[in-house]
Amino acid sequence: MLKRGAIIQWLVMLGVVALSGVLYSLVVYGEKPVVGAIFALFICMPLIALERRMILPGFHGWLHGLSTPSYLAMSLILYYVTIFIGFAIAGALLKCVGVIHEPWVKTLILPWEVVLYSFTVAGGINFVMRVRELLGRDIFASLLTGRYRKPVREERVFLFIDLVGSTSFAEKHGDLRTQQYLGTLFNVLAEPVRRHDGAIDDYIGDAVIITWPLKRGLRNARCVRCVFDIMAEIEKRAPLWHGTFGQMPRLRAALHGGEIITAEIGVDHHKIAYFGDTVNTVARLESLCRTLGRPVLISQELATRLTLPEDIRAEYLGDHALRGRGQPLGVMALSSIRQMQQSNIVPLAQPAE
């Protein structure tokens, strides 16, 4: 089921496409704005759905795996065929209900100006959505609005996830294979992050940093649920991991939240950056996973501010001194009652890398 944010996003895209059809119809033909909106929706929305992987997701993955020249050629052919089919269906429906009266040949044959219009509208929307994906939803919106051009003091939750054994994997299989391994892992964790309204802030080698505004991350314990949903997604793909890479990924994860300073930095390359003790603490807490042999740790400070899901068990491990932090930090280990026996979340006994 689509979430409210996704529904709003699609409604906005529908509105933009329909409005573009109305404007095109008025400018080119000087009449029938509703007809222009209908043609636009039938032509452009399938193109957008294709790029959003709502249609033919397997073919989309194959297409993006091609070399650049092949990808461009196949994309142009796919776009043209999709535009032709959408135009023909819309024309046939409108003629059958008596809205348009042109001959069938004009109704079904695609004019070149319509092709150019469709590429412009659908391509523009897909480009904006692609940039939004690359930057992340929250960062994209913040850069557009200029929210962080002046440093802002706010509270956020940070989740630091690290892949166990990546160094030994690289020594055994090489850097290229390791990058494929990491790329597959990062693709798998993206959906649980999106599902729980988080934002991937950065990838650092074999680690990923995920963040939420504090209230959003605490609501329904989204930040905690996200961790165990990621692990469940990995477990569901056990045949893929063993068949393709010969092993299952095992993760370490740490959660902490608090006050930070957020600011937009950079000149040619802009980035939303986070500064403060909270960011450093979550990184140090992840390192403590190796020392304590626990795959998921959360600061007691953050744990006391949320209500854990019924199937998540918390165990207090005492106060621990963290490098670079003056005050000891109360630490708790989290485990899923349902997933405790699964291989990717068993206690970590191997030495630090």
Residue 139: per-residue pLDDT: 64
Number of H helices and number of E strands within the chain? 14, 8
* Domains of the chain: residue spans and CATH: 4-135 (no CATH), 146-345 (3.30.70.1230)
Q: How far apart are CA 309 and CA 324, in angstroms?
A: 32
Query: Residue 1 carries which side chain, given as an amino acid letter?
Result: M
pLDDT score of 102: 76
Long-range contacts of 82-88 (CB under 8 A, 24+ apart): 82/46, 82/47, 82/50, 83/43, 83/47, 83/110, 83/114, 83/115, 83/118, 83/119, 84/110, 85/46, 86/42, 86/43, 86/44, 86/45, 86/46, 86/47, 87/39, 87/42, 87/43, 87/114
Residue 48 is predicted with a pLDDT of: 77
pLDDT at 132: 64
Tokens at 220, concatenated:
């329904």
Q: Hey, is 211 helix, strand or coil? A: strand
The whole-number pLDDT of residue 350 equals: 40
Give which of 336, 346, 119 is closest to 224, Cα–Cα: 336
d(CA 63, CA 69): 11
Report the chain (353 residues): mean pLDDT per 10 consecutive residues: 65 83 73 80 81 73 70 76 85 82 74 76 69 62 71 92 91 90 90 88 90 92 94 90 91 94 77 85 90 92 91 91 82 82 43 39
CA angle 213, 151, 273 (to 5 degrees): 60
